[in-house]
Amino acid sequence: MLTHQTISPRDCFDAKTVKAVRRQMPPDEDVASLENMFEVLSDPTRVRILFALCRGKELCVNDLAALLGMTASAVSHQLRKLRDRQMVKCRWDKNLACYSLGDDPCIRKLLEFGLCLARETMEAGRKGVGK
């Protein structure tokens, strides 16, 4: 990884722009948090769970298992990873764990924008755009 100590601004083509952009870069802890979030979203099962919760508001583990064609244990394992990142929340109804999206409205937006970007880049790839 290049750091500000690796290349001096005077060695850059546009040192003024590099300096201005450097001031606007997010702090390292924000970048690490974002990396962790994308790591959580790198699993297709977790993405499917999030989309299901976007569409179904609240679903119990068995509902999600039936929807995804998985065991309840496998779904619970993925839900725990999403819960650890506050992307989903759990409500207990007697012995039944019911899940919904986390409270942050950005979760739903991230999924919708991510799907939009995936579709757009896939379509551009089919058309040969950017080659």
Structure token digits, residue 60: 């119990």
Query: Which residue range(s) make up the domain with 53?
Result: 41-124
State pLDDT tens for residues 42-96.
999 999 999 999 987 899 999 999 999 999 999 999 999 999 999 999 999 988 9
User: CA-CA distances (angstroms) from residue 45 to 22, 121, 122?
Assistant: 36, 21, 20
Number of domains in the chain: 1
Supply the pTM of this predicted model. 0.77
Structure token digits, residue 100: 């919904």
Question: Is residue 64 a part of any domain in this protein?
Answer: yes
**Helix axes of 72-84 and 44-56: crossing angle, nearest 10 degrees:** 80
User: Tokens 């993925």 belong to which residue?
Assistant: 78
Q: What CATH number corresponds to the domain at position 112?
A: 1.10.10.10
